[in-house]
Copies of this chain bind each other. A is one copy, B any other.
């Protein structure tokens, strides 16, 4: 049967690109079929090395991902790429841009690119990212690269999703304090100063070194690599640093711990999303909820009080204070 799970799973394990594409799409859209796929016993595989590439807009992430992927593919490993596009809250459409360059990459063997929009979870990774990683891993990809756009929420979610986080920066894109402000400095395992042919590169490396010395948290000493991605300079150094981090994780129990924690986070996420969906459905159909929301909107009750009524009805106990400390 052309629409049966087993049919597609079979094609999938015959390394059929159409099946990979189909399963990625169903899983991304969280359809019934996608949910069956993702729970399929044969798809439980978490061997791939998951690498997050992040950094502020303009740091050269897409160029670096391109060069790095080419180097990895030529080494003989296969790569799945997940690109996370911003979606405007108004247009709901994904932007184009340097996706065009990516299409050239996709022509190479052993490389598959999946572009995501961040619908409904603005600024963050889409809900299904960890499931998509699992699909790539089951397909036999050795490496899954996740490229995120911008700085903020997404970067913190990468921390929970990737094994190795590479943070790109460029000289002159704000001083160290400004970068710190973005709150993404301490999540990286590998730091890259890209466009290192621009003035101030060595100062940036020096500032970074000092900062990392102060915030040392584990045995892993994050390397700082200089690169000029457009000139293909420093790409091998970045790959070397990534491999070194992989062996570090595997020599400790961090590799396994990250996989366990990823599953747990996904459980909380799925459950939370389903709860909100149910809540919003009830708000529009159940008369108790309709009335309390009416009072809320007319300013007769406060959101915290309205929430109390709803949580009681849903049999979810409301604590004394939301966050009492004494």
Question: Which A residues have a C-beta under 8 Å from some C-beta of B?
Answer: 29-35, 38-39, 44, 46, 56-58, 86-91, 95, 97, 118, 122-124, 149-156, 159, 173-175, 177-183, 185-187, 215, 217, 260, 263-264, 266-280, 293, 296-297, 299, 301-307, 310-311, 314-326
Contact = CB atoms under 8 A, between A and B. Distances in A.
The 8 A-B pairs at the shortest CB distance, nearest first, are namely A152-B152, A86-B183, A58-B174, A32-B321, A153-B153, A30-B322, A123-B153, A266-B303
22 contacts: A30-B323, A31-B322, A31-B326, A32-B321, A56-B56, A56-B151, A57-B151, A57-B181, A88-B185, A97-B177, A118-B183, A150-B151, A263-B296, A264-B293, A264-B303, A266-B304, A267-B307, A270-B322, A271-B311, A272-B272, A275-B275, A277-B319
A293 B322 contact: no
Contact of A149 (B35, B58, B182): B182
Give the residue among A56, A159, A280, A323 with the most B Cβ atoms within 10 A.
A323
A39 B95 contact: no
B90 A39 contact: no
A88 B184 CA distance: 8
B276 A181 contact: no
Contact of A275 (B124, B155, B156, B316): B316
A65 to B, nearest CB: 14
